[in-house]
Structure 1
Amino acid sequence: MFAVSSIAVAQAKTVWVDDQLYLPVRSGAGSQFRIIENAVPSGTPLEVIEASDSGYTLVRTPKGTEGWVSSQYLSETPIAADRLRTANRQLEETRAELAQVKEQLSNVVTERNALESSEASLSDRSQELQEELQRIKSIAADSINLERRNRELREENQKIRNDLEVLTAENERLEASKEYDFMLLGAGLVLGGVLLALIIPMLKPTRKTDNWA
């Protein structure tokens, strides 16, 4: 219960009408004074203007009425019903905040899972790129080897062509020499034939004339 001071309150404070009451506000500090505001319900906050040792306190109601009420029905704390409503409201606010935190946590978990999935995809893509790079390097190496082999083949082909040209020239020379030899042989045979034609008649014995006939 509210303890009433015997001196005026230096600074205004708030008190509440106690549980399950409808407190009348009177024009003076006593039950003999007329009621100027009737049935202030329990839980109503009242601003203390002055306290006295008469058992009454001068207050100001939410409607702005200034009057005296019995101090024994005042409390320095809100009534249990108000405290319960406040506690329930705070509980609902806490539940709402908890639901919001859970939703934020769910979003964070979803984002984390998405990031992990994206990281896995990036890792797979990186592996694919590494394999593709290795394949390109292998192709490039094969291309270099192929180019070197082609160059070697071209050089060998050119060498074969050079050798073929030399052999062709040598063959032509031999053919020309062979024809020349045939010509010499033919000329020799002709000359030999002529000589034989001249010599053979000279080698035949001449017949003597038979003078005894």
Structure 2
Amino acid sequence: MFKKCLTSLAFGILVSTSAMAETIYVSDIQFIAIREGQGNNTKAVERGLKSGTPLVVLDRSNSYTKVRTPKGNEGWVANYFLSDNRVSRDQLVRLESKLTEAAETKLNAEEALDEEKAKVANLVTQVEQLNSERSSLQTQLSEVNELAQKARAIVAANEESAYKIESLQHQLDSAQNENQMLKSSKEQRWFMIGATTIIIGVLAGLILPNTRKKKASTGSWS
């Protein structure tokens, strides 16, 4: 008999402990009252518990459950007022909150995508500008190469012209030297001719009078 009582007591404690760990919720009915006993005619311990209010289970009997409210009041409530899960209104609120978070996440993702698109468009514009600049530089390089070739040709022509000018200058110098030599030779020749003429004239001036005198002397002797 003692063992049977002990077993029953242990079972009761186990059930009580299990019940105390359980949490249930006020169902979708808007407001309910917690009462002292198992019936609507008993005194209300706490009124106005709205849907979704969590209640700690203390005991279960017949179609009623003894609970503790968030304010610490303990009493009985009919099982049809209770739900093992959160009420649909609270679930709806939670779903709406998650939906709002998802919408915000989507909006942030769209904004990030728009920023990335703007960056890509900017990069495309920069690439186009770089391609345009590269094309312009290639054109300028071609023009520079062409000018360099022309410059080399002009330098080569100038070197050839300088060589020709130098050759002509040498020829001119030679011609001037030869002309100077010829001029000097001609002047010497004329000088010699003049000197010879003067000497002849002097001699003639000296000889002719003597000849005339001799002729005159010879005529007088005869």
**Which band: TM-score by shorter chain?**
0.7 to 0.9
**8 A Cα contact 1:25 1:69, kept in partner:** yes
| Aligned: 1:165 with 2:173 | yes
Asked whether the equivalents of residues 14 and 46 of structure 1 are also in contact (C-alpha less than 8 Å), the reply is yes
SS at match of 2:77: strand
The alignment status of 1:70 with 2:78, answered yes or no, reads yes
Given that residues 7 and 52 in structure 1 are in contact (C-alpha distance below 8 angstroms), is that contact kept between their aligned partners in structure 2? Answer: no
Q: Distance in 2 between matches of 1:128 and 1:14?
A: 78
Report percent identity of matched pairs.
27
1:1-213 mapped onto 2 (5 Å cutoff): 7-8=15-16, 10=18, 12-28=21-37, 33-47=42-56, 49-187=57-195
Give the distance between the partners of 1:59 and 1:90, measured in 2 at CA: 30
- CA shift, 1:17, in A, is 1.2
Q: What count of residue pairs does the alignment treat as equivalent?
A: 201
- List per-residue Cα deviations over 1:169-210 (Å, max 9, x = no partner): 1001111122233334445666777899979x89xxxxx9xx
More helix as a share of residues: 2
Of 187-196 and 21-30, deviating more is 187-196
Q: How far apart, in 2, do the equivalents of 1:62 and 1:34 lie?
A: 19
Quote the offset at 1:87 in angstroms: 2.5
Q: Tell me the alpha carbon deviations over residues 74-126 of structure 1, each in whole angstroms, 9 at most, x when there is no partner.
A: 11222222222332332222222222222221221111111111111121122
Cα gap change, 1:159/1:87 in structure 2, threshold over 3 Å: closer, same or farther? same
CA gap 1:13/1:138 in 2 versus in 1, 3 angstroms: farther
Contact in 1 for aligned 2:37/2:43 (Cα 8 Å): yes
Q: Which runs of 5+ in 2 are unaligned?
A: 1-13, 213-218
Counterpart CA distance in 1 for 2:37 and 2:178 is: 153
- Runs of 5+ unmatched residues, structure 1: 1-5, 203-207
1:157 counterpart letter in structure 2: I
Identify which of structures 1 and 2 has the higher relative contact order when contacts are C-alpha pairs closer than 8 Å and 6+ apart. Answer: 1
Aligned partners of 1:27, 1:8: CA distance in 2, in Å? 19
Paired with 1:184 and 1:102, the residues of 2 have a C-alpha distance of: 119
The CA distance in 2 between the partners of 1:160 and 1:17, in whole Å, is 124
Structure 1 residue matching 2:25: 3-state secondary structure: strand
SS of 1:92 mapped into structure 2: helix
Aligned partners of 1:196 and 1:29: how far apart in 2? Answer: 190
State the SS of the aligned residue for 2:46: strand
Larger mean CA deviation between 15-24 and 131-140 belongs to 131-140
How far apart in 2 are the matches of 1:89 and 1:80? 14
CA–CA distance in structure 2, aligned partners of residues 54 and 32 of structure 1 = 16
Instruction: Return the offset for 1:31.
Output: 5.0
